Amino acid sequence: MADSPAREESAFCPVYAALNLLQEKWTLHIIRALLEGPKGFNELSRAVGGVNPATLSQRLEHLVSLGVVEKTVESYMPPRTRYRLTPSGRELEEVIQAVERWARKHLKAPVS
Amino acid sequence: MADSPAREESAFCPVYAALNLLQEKWTLHIIRALLEGPKGFNELSRAVGGVNPATLSQRLEHLVSLGVVEKTVESYMPPRTRYRLTPSGRELEEVIQAVERWARKHLKAPVS
């Protein structure tokens, strides 16, 4: 069985890293929602649907650390922050569009 | 906070379903590995790297149930099965290629 962590230890592979990022639960949904435009935390939470606030915060922090999303503080009292895709983040639109084309062509509602 | 499962209960959205599928841990890696060609279970496990066999089985079953992957039994003694992408599965190449283009352009090795 090949459960060795060999890949993680080898030279950095950007594609492997990107697949790891995009498989984090909610991340693809967050990117899709932000492609519609910048959003506040609660608005984003509603748009994504079902994610708990702690997880959403964590995902956003990771995306910010990779330069995919940027966070701007619009006011402190009351606290208001907004999240938007950076130019690099907006280029993920190609990925989301490819998923959309595939989904509309191939996924059907489950027969219940 | 918008933690209601409203989206899940509403009409079937193929794009939402596809994003849910692709965010399952290892699924993007499995698809990328199978785009190189059909593989046996152990070979696929090695190609994906780091996945445990129970999780890999579960992911493959899900992909088979959605018509993305097909499993063929090549011999019973010794047992030999192979996994390959269906025509619909192969069309996910567009998604993986979009991830590859983005990753090569935007992801850099972390500075350690």
Whether residue A8 is contained in a domain is answered as no
Q: What is the pLDDT of residues A31-63, one digit of tens each?
A: 999 999 999 999 999 999 889 999 999 999 999
Q: Which residue of B has its CA nearest to A24?
A: B23
pLDDT band at A111 (very low <50, low <70, confident <90, very high): low
Q: Count the domains in chain B.
A: 1
Q: Classify residue B26 as exposed, middle or buried by CB count within 10 Å of its CB (0-12, 13-18, 19+).
A: buried
Looking at the partner chain, which of A1, A32, A99 has a beta carbon nearest the beta carbon of B45?
A: A1
Q: Give how far B54 is from chain A: nearest CA, Å.
A: 12
The answer to whether the CB atoms of A94 and B110 lie below 8 A apart is no
Q: What is the pLDDT, as a whole number, of residue B2?
A: 44
Q: What is the pLDDT, as a whole number, of residue B1?
A: 41
Q: Give how far A93 is from chain B: nearest CA, Å.
A: 9
ipTM reported for the complex, 2 dp: 0.85
Whether residue A7 is contained in a domain is answered as no
Answer yes or no: is pLDDT of A10 > 60: no
The answer to whether the CB atoms of B42 and A18 lie below 8 A apart is no
Whether residue A2 is contained in a domain is answered as no
Answer yes or no: is pLDDT of A5 > 80: no
How far is Cα B101 from Cα A103, in angstroms, rounded to an integer?
A: 20
Answer yes or no: is pLDDT of A22 > 50: yes
The answer to whether the CB atoms of A88 and B98 lie below 8 A apart is no
How far is Cα A68 from Cα A61, in angstroms, rounded to an integer?
A: 10
The answer to whether the CB atoms of A19 and B28 lie below 8 A apart is yes
Residue B49, Cβ neighbours under 10 Å: how many?
18
The Cα-based distances of A9 to A5, A66, B49 in angstroms read: 7, 20, 11
Q: What is the pLDDT, as a whole number, of residue B43?
A: 95
Whether residue B3 is contained in a domain is answered as no
Whether residue A57 is contained in a domain is answered as yes
* CATH at B49: 1.10.10.10
Each residue's pLDDT expressed in tens, for chain B with a length of 112 residues: 444 444 445 588 999 999 999 999 999 999 999 999 999 999 999 999 889 999 999 999 999 999 999 999 988 888 889 999 999 999 999 999 999 999 999 998 776 5
Pair B30, B44: CB distance under 8 Å: yes
Q: What is the pLDDT, as a whole number, of residue B3?
A: 47
How far is Cα A62 from Cα A1, in angstroms, rounded to an integer?
A: 31
Whether residue B22 is contained in a domain is answered as yes
The Cα-based distances of A92 to B83, B95, B111 in angstroms read: 29, 11, 23
Pair B50, A3: CB distance under 8 Å: yes
Domain containing B77 equals: 13-106
Q: What is the pLDDT, as a whole number, of residue A78?
A: 86
Q: At what angle do helices A27-35 and A53-65 cross, to 10 degrees?
A: 70
Answer yes or no: is pLDDT of A100 > 90: yes
The Cα-based distances of B83 to A38, A87, B34, B90 in angstroms read: 41, 38, 8, 12
Show the tokens assigned to A88.
């690099």
Pair B44, B29: CB distance under 8 Å: no
Q: What is the pLDDT, as a whole number, of residue A112?
A: 56
Q: What is the pLDDT, as a whole number, of residue B97?
A: 98
Whether residue A72 is contained in a domain is answered as yes
How far is Cα B42 from Cα B30, in angstroms, rounded to an integer?
A: 12
Whether residue A5 is contained in a domain is answered as no
How far is Cα A51 from Cα A41, in angstroms, rounded to an integer?
A: 12
The answer to whether the CB atoms of A99 and B19 lie below 8 A apart is yes
